[in-house]
Amino acid sequence: MVRRQASPAAPPPTQPPGRAAILAASAALASRYVVLERRQQEAVATARAICDASQVCLARQRVARQRRHGQRVGPLTWFGIEGIIEEQGCARSGAMDS
């Protein structure tokens, strides 16, 4: 005859957390949510800034290429690109013109 060992005793049922514990957990979650939301907004702003800066640099390269090939660059293009470059602080090195 095989004897079975008694299964280990189940832990006693715990009482649900109190109101104060629930409020503390909710406040911690809300605080964490605010931090994550702020980080997400910063990441989106950084991505947009990088995209804008790269578009400005590409447009400046396009204008320089058109000039090298003897094409006439219209004043709207020139002033638009140069104005944005000055605002964005795009590097104005010779490498950018190629």
Domain boundaries, the chain: 32-97
Which of the pair, 73 or 68, is modelled with greater confidence? 68
Alpha helices, H only, 16-93:
19-68, 75-88
Using CA atoms, how far apart are residues 34 and 18, in angstroms rounded to an integer?
A: 25
Which of the pair, 97 or 3, is modelled with greater confidence? 3
Q: How many CB atoms lie within 10 A of CB 1?
A: 2
Q: How confident is the model at residue 97 (pLDDT cuts 50, 70, 90)?
A: very low
Using CA atoms, how far apart are residues 63 and 97, in angstroms rounded to an integer?
A: 9
Query: 27-51 pLDDT, tens per residue?
Result: 999 999 999 999 999 999 988 888 8
CB 62 within 8 A of CB 83: no
Determine the pLDDT at residue 17. Answer: 78
